[in-house]
Amino acid sequence: MASLQVIGRGKIATIYTDGTYAFKTYPESFPTAWIHYEYQTHQAVFEHTDLPLIRYKYLDGQRQIQMDYIQGKTLADRMRKDKYKQGLEDFVQLQILIFKHSVPTLNDAFKVFESQIKQAHLNPELQEKALQSLNKIEFKQQLCHLDFHLENILFDGQKYIIIDWVNAKQGNPVMDIARSYIIFKQYAQRMANKYLRLICNAMSIEEADVYKAIPLMAFLRLLENDTDPFRHTLESYILEENHA
């Protein structure tokens, strides 16, 4: 393999390129089964939709996923550095495009989230609120990305590519919208309410339907490792004290 250059670092994986491909590389301590799960999830979406995705190749035994190398920028950088004014509108349209699809081979978000709540070692009151939130959400089986944010959309100069599908499941779009809203509140607070208005108007849904899912998705976000010092806000969302 040609000499590699680091082009990105996530919470777990490091991404390198040889100029032709990108390689998502995991540490030795990371379970191989989880790497394969990410690959299989991505492939399911790639093979059963016409969404703009990169191609994956699982490199067995190398703890790597080979990907198309996209020379471009994230939608976040396009908005921040290029002062692109329609980024939020583009974001909403891409997310709605995801919801038009169904990939029945993916996991059911309702079942997975119920299991995650019950197995969590958090305050029982928070667990109960999360379960109540889950039970208020209408059962639907549409494709949800479930980590849809500005850094997971690449722009190659002509078109967008949606990346990082490891969380994708079949569920109700309000779950995905609530997740994106919470991420906006954490990292780009001034955009959060505008995003919510835009997508609810575009989909002809009530903001109240998204609010039903916020305690659930805040609880699941709380289980992740990058929530401090946002933890108190997440807990308030779970307890339904404040969504604004």
For every one of its 244 residues, what pLDDT tens digit does the chain have, with 9 covering 90 and above?
458 899 888 888 999 999 999 999 999 999 999 999 999 999 999 999 999 999 999 987 889 999 999 989 999 999 999 999 999 999 999 999 999 999 999 999 999 999 999 999 999 999 999 999 999 999 999 999 999 999 999 999 999 999 999 999 999 999 999 999 999 999 999 999 999 999 999 999 999 999 999 999 999 999 986 667 899 999 999 998 666 5
Rg of the Cα trace of the chain? 18
Based on the domain organization, do 214 and 230 belong to the same domain? yes
Please check whether residue 244 lies inside any domain of the structure. no
Please check whether residue 149 lies inside any domain of the structure. yes
pLDDT score at 99: 98
Specify the residue for token string 């805040």: 218
- Domain encompassing residue 233: 73-238
pLDDT score at 9: 87
Q: What is the largest CA-CA distance in the chain?
A: 54
Taking the C-alpha atoms of residue 182 and residue 166, their distance in angstroms, rounded to an integer, is 18
Based on the domain organization, do 223 and 169 belong to the same domain? yes
Taking the C-alpha atoms of residue 39 and residue 59, their distance in angstroms, rounded to an integer, is 10
Based on the domain organization, do 29 and 103 belong to the same domain? no
pLDDT score at 240: 83
Based on the domain organization, do 60 and 109 belong to the same domain? no
Q: What CATH number does residue 12 fall under? A: 3.30.200.20
Based on the domain organization, do 59 and 79 belong to the same domain? no
pLDDT score at 226: 62
CA 109 to chain centre: 13
Among the three residues 18, 53, 68, which one is the final residue of a domain in this structure? 68
Please check whether residue 9 lies inside any domain of the structure. yes
DSSP symbols for 205-240:
--HHHHHHHHHHHHHHHHTSS--TTSHHHHHHHHTT
pLDDT score at 242: 61
Q: 231-238 and 173-187 helices cross at what angle (nearest 10)?
A: 150
Based on the domain organization, do 115 and 213 belong to the same domain? yes
Based on the domain organization, do 176 and 153 belong to the same domain? yes
Taking the C-alpha atoms of residue 186 and residue 209, their distance in angstroms, rounded to an integer, is 21
Specify the residue for token string 């779009």: 173
Please check whether residue 243 lies inside any domain of the structure. no
Among the three residues 17, 40, 68, which one is the final residue of a domain in this structure? 68
Tell me the CA end-to-end span of the chain in Å, nearest whole number. Answer: 50
Based on the domain organization, do 32 and 77 belong to the same domain? no
pLDDT score at 182: 97
Based on the domain organization, do 101 and 209 belong to the same domain? yes
Q: What CATH number does residue 216 fall under? A: 3.90.1200.10
Q: How many domains does the chain have?
A: 2
Among the three residues 68, 91, 112, which one is the final residue of a domain in this structure? 68
Based on the domain organization, do 203 and 121 belong to the same domain? yes
Based on the domain organization, do 64 and 77 belong to the same domain? no
Taking the C-alpha atoms of residue 90 and residue 96, their distance in angstroms, rounded to an integer, is 10
Taking the C-alpha atoms of residue 34 and residue 166, their distance in angstroms, rounded to an integer, is 9
